[in-house]
Amino acid sequence: MLGDALKLSINSKSVSQETAEFYFPPGLWCPVTQPAVATDSHCLNSTGEVFELGTKLYDVGLHLREGYIVPLHDAASFEPMTTVDVANSRIDFAINPQKTDGLLFTYNATGSFINDDGETLDTAEGVNSY
């Protein structure tokens, strides 16, 4: 687990292994990295159980728990040199909203993002928080 929102699944046993078993805590978990748009068939609805997933030794499975938003940053695509470069680049967000029942369906997701400019020491005045 990476915090409450992200679940990382890595096959670390064998180069020839095609599948591996991974425990998922309770919740609806959707893949972050592949496919670009998750559908119900790609998501795992867990009650706190083990799932067998296809995986190679070099694959990294990353799933986002329902009800969360997390920032994603593809640093390799623009080769940042400083934290200022990172702060000035585009940030994407992965969102897996939680559906609540009612007369109309509503969806909620939470998360926080603090963009450190890499230069300001007084964080009370120099922080961009969303």
Per-residue pLDDT of the chain (130 residues; tens, 9 = 90+): 888 999 999 887 777 888 889 999 999 999 987 655 555 568 999 999 999 988 877 778 899 999 999 888 776 777 777 777 777 777 888 888 888 776 677 888 888 777 666 666 665 655 555 5
CA atoms lying within 13 Å on the CB side of residue 38:
20
**Residue 8: C-alpha distances to residues 23, 29, 33 (Å):** 10, 11, 11
> pTM for this one?
0.74
